[in-house]
Amino acid sequence: MSSNLLEGDTALVTGAASGIGRGIALQLAHEGARVILSDSNTSDGQQASDQLRDQGHDVDFIDADLSTKEGPGELFRKASERLGGISVLVHCASPPRREADNVLAVEDETWDQMLAVNLRAGFILAREAGREMIARNIRGRMLIITSLHAETPRNLPHYSAAKAGQTMTVKELAKAFGPHGIRINAIAPGAIPGGGFDATGAGIERLTRCTSLGRLGTPADVANMAVALLCDRFSSYVTGTTVAVDGGIALHNWIEPVEL
């Protein structure tokens, strides 16, 4: 049931074609925000947008490749123009990660793409949003979806490095934008099927056993926390922090021994 916590807000959500990003876009729309969904997966992103529009929500879709030099800036300009300004930014986009891309195997191109989409694009989008919010005197809010692996090695060095960089970027942005009334936080999800890992077989059973609450998470679990962090009713005095939405999995040593 919607409580219209974000009524009047205009939001851009990256990585919104599936998984956590799609779940967040859905929940923001349910809470009254006008939402631009963005993703490099045009077909799934447009389908997600059409589904929300059919439910009566004010949404649109913009395809964007955030790995390119021009991609983040172009996306922000297009989204801001369509919405007439952005008051909420959610950066969830991240390239697919493969378990085979370990320390010895990850290619330079794969490393560069992971850092470009997660870290470089996230910073550029937040910087441009901050500039606009300050110029328009908007008390905006931003959210970056990072990872538990910002602090826990996973033998996916490009992914862990990108997420660790995001965590510090959130702190830097929060410190810089706070005096202007702009808040920025992060969420570190746990094991969320559809959130970037292979949710099949024995691995699922093992992850479930290692989760204190005894179940894997859902995109809705993350989306509900996203709404809480993006609305002033529940978090007007919260900025620069990372909230784990993980069912307690970080309390356990759930990472398999490294084999090179």
What domains, with CATH codes, occur in the chain? 10-247 (3.40.50.720)
Give the Cα separation of 177 and 63 in Å (integer).
Answer: 28
Instruction: Say if residue 204's pLDDT is above 90.
Output: no
Token pair for 29: 């729309």
Would residue 159 show up in a list of annotated catalytic residues for this protein?
Answer: yes
Report the residue count for the chain. Answer: 260
Average per-residue pLDDT for the chain: 93
Give the Cα separation of 99 and 14 in Å (integer).
Answer: 23
Instruction: Say if residue 18's pLDDT is above 60.
Output: yes
Instruction: Say if residue 2's pLDDT is above 60.
Output: no
Per-position b or e across 15-38, b if 16+ CB within 10 A of its CB: bbbbbbbbbbbbbbbbbbbbbbbb
- Give me the catalytic one of 61, 76, 123, 159: 159
Instruction: Say if residue 258's pLDDT is above 60.
Output: no
Position 249: which residue type? I
Instruction: Say if residue 235's pLDDT is above 80.
Output: yes
Least confident of 95-99, 131-135, 204-208, 227-231: 204-208
Instruction: Say if residue 256's pLDDT is above 90.
Output: no
Give the Cα separation of 196 and 95 in Å (integer).
Answer: 9
**Helix H or strand E segment including 183:** strand 183-189
Position 38: which residue type? S
Best CA proximity match to 241, nearest among 162, 176, 171: 171
Least confident of 178-182, 208-212, 228-232: 208-212
Instruction: Say if residue 197's pLDDT is above 70.
Output: no
Give the Cα separation of 165 and 86 in Å (integer).
Answer: 24
